[in-house]
Amino acid sequence: MKKIFYSLLMTALFFAACKKQELSPYDQPDGINFGSSDALKTVLFSSPDDFVNGKDSVLVTISVTPMGKKRTEKTTLYFNKVADVSNINIADVKIWRDPLLIDYLKATYIDTIVVRRPKTPKALHALNITFDFGKSTKFTTGVTENQTVRIEVSDKFEEPSWWSFYTSQFGSFSDAKYRLMLKATSDVYYYFSVTSALNKSKAALAAYNVSNPGKPLMDDATPSRPISFP
């Protein structure tokens, strides 16, 4: 008898917990949250192949969860974009559905962010996305830690493993020099045609310097020194 009573008690508690969990989003004030896993989105533009092939944008997804009593009227949700580090262009980060239409019939909404390659290469660009409660008047802040999505963008090339074998041809490595070579040759694997890659790179550098008199292309590794080849 005790076993039967215990089993019934556990079953009742289980269904009560499920019911409470199911209703909990609607028992809270009318707030709005990003997904708990969306606090930080890292975007890396570090692939030479992507650079050569012209891939200059990356898609990332975020989730948005409305909280509060379940209702069917449609509400418009707006976002803010605030640059946080460096001179990232806010226009380079586009929220696909901004504003986002909320009707409370869905528990979670998925939105897409298009991040374009920054015009100025740098190890870290960052931007914060928040809710615009000035425009989204039907919402209040939800959970504090779920009110911001941080987008960190890195556009910096690392020295390829093969570079050290060709320093007599290409000289010391730098991000700026590598970008020049990638643009000039449209090739990532220089060791198949070192002489051709070097000649094309030198020609591209000379053309740049002619087009920009008095403003030579500078080596980011040593800013006071213009880019050169041996």
What domains lie within the chain, and their CATH numbers? 24-155 (2.60.40.1740), 158-230 (no CATH)
Q: What is the pLDDT of residue 74?
A: 75
Rg value, the chain, Cα? 26
Smallest CA-to-CA distance from 209 within 227, 222, 187, 185 is with: 227
CA distance 155 to 43: 9
131-155: average pLDDT: 88
What type of residue sits at position 66?
P
Q: Is 66 exposed, middle or buried (0-12, 13-18, 19+ CB in 10 A)?
A: buried
Dump pLDDT digits (tens) for 30-62: 688 999 899 999 999 989 999 988 999 999 999
Q: What is the pLDDT of residue 75?
A: 79
Question: Any idea which of 25-39, 40-54, 115-129, 154-168 has the lowest mean pLDDT?
Answer: 25-39
